[in-house]
Chain A
Amino acid sequence: MPKKTKSQPGQKTKQGYISTTFETPDLPDYVIVKLKYESPVAFAATGFVAPADAEPQASSLNRVLSKYDIAAVRSHFGKKREEVSHRIAVARALPAAGMAAAVEGKGLDADFIQSSYVQIVPKKRGDAPKLARELQRQGAVSQAYVAPRPVPAAMATGTSPDSRNFEPAQGYLHSAPEGIGAMEVWPLAGGKGKGVTICDIEGNWNLAHEDLPASILHIGGTVINDIGWRNHGTAVLGEMVSKPGDAGTVGIAHQALAKVHSAVIGGVFNTAGAIAGATAALKAGDAILIELQATGPNGKYVAMQYWNDIFSAIVAATAKGITVVEAAGNGNENFDLAIFNGTGLQKDSGAIVVGAGIPPTNFFDNFGFGAGTAYTKIGVPRSRIWFSNYGKIVNVHGWGWHVTTCGYGDAQGGASENRWYTHRFSGTSSASPIVTGAVACLQGIAKTKGAPLSPAKIRKILMKTGTPQVSGPGVPLTQHIGPLPNLKKAAKLV
Chain B
Amino acid sequence: MWYLAVATQDEGVLSYMKAGYTHAEAPVELLRFLSLKLKTGWRFDRSRRQFVSTGGQRLSILDQLPEGSDIVATVPALAKADPTKLSDAERDLARYFQLILPKGATPEDNLRVVKRCDAVEEVTLPPKVSLP
Contacts and interface: CB of A to CB of B under 8 A. Distances in A.
14 contacts: A12-B21, A268-B33, A268-B126, A269-B33, A276-B93, A301-B130, A301-B132, A306-B127, A319-B87, A327-B132, A370-B12, A377-B5, A378-B9, A379-B5
Contacts of B87: 316, 319
A385 B33 CA distance: 34
B132 A270 contact: no
Interface string B12-55: 11111101111110110111110101000000000000000000
A276 B94 CA distance: 11
A269 B9 CA distance: 33
Nearest to B70: A266
B22 A307 contact: no
Contact of B132 (A309, A310, A312, A428): A428
B127 A429 contact: no
A266 B100 contact: yes
Interface in A227-283: 228-229, 232, 263-264, 266-273, 276-277, 280
Interface in A462-484: 472-474
Contact of B20 (A228, A316, A386, A429): A228
B24 A226 contact: yes
Contacts of A203: 24, 26, 131
A292 interface: yes
Nearest to B76: A273
Contacts of B82: none
B113 interface: no
B31 A269 contact: yes
Interface residues of A, number: 65
A273 B32 contact: no
A329 B2 CA distance: 23
Nearest to B11: A371
A38 interface: no
Interface string B94-110: 00101010000000000
Given A263-B129, A276-B78, A308 B23 contact: no
Given A14-B20, A377-B5, A473-B2, A266 B72 contact: yes
B10 interface: yes
Given A267-B30, A268-B33, A272-B74, A425 B12 contact: no
Given A291-B131, A378-B9, A268 B32 contact: yes
A268 B131 contact: no
Given A229-B131, A378-B9, A371 B15 contact: yes
Given A268-B126, A316-B89, A372 B13 contact: yes
Interface residues of B, number: 50
B13 A295 contact: no
B100 A268 contact: yes
Contacts of B37: 308-309
B109 to A, nearest CB: 16
B59 to A, nearest CB: 21
Interface centre among A224, A316, A408, A427 (most CB of B within 10 A): A316
A313 interface: yes
B78 A427 contact: no
Contacts of A427: 17, 22-23, 131-132
Given A269-B26, A309-B74, A316-B89, A12 B129 contact: no
A387 B100 contact: no
A69 B20 CA distance: 33
Contacts of A330: 17, 22-23, 132
Given A232-B131, A304-B127, A371-B13, A378 B6 contact: yes
Contacts of A14: 20
Contact of A12 (B20, B29, B122): B20
Closest CB pairs A-B (n = 6): A371-B12, A294-B127, A473-B2, A228-B24, A316-B89, A315-B89
A293 interface: yes
Given A226-B24, A473-B2, A268 B127 contact: no
Contacts of B35: 307, 309
B90 interface: yes
A206 interface: no
A57 interface: no
A272 B97 CA distance: 10
Residue from B21, B27, B72 with most neighbouring chain A CB atoms (10 Å) = B21
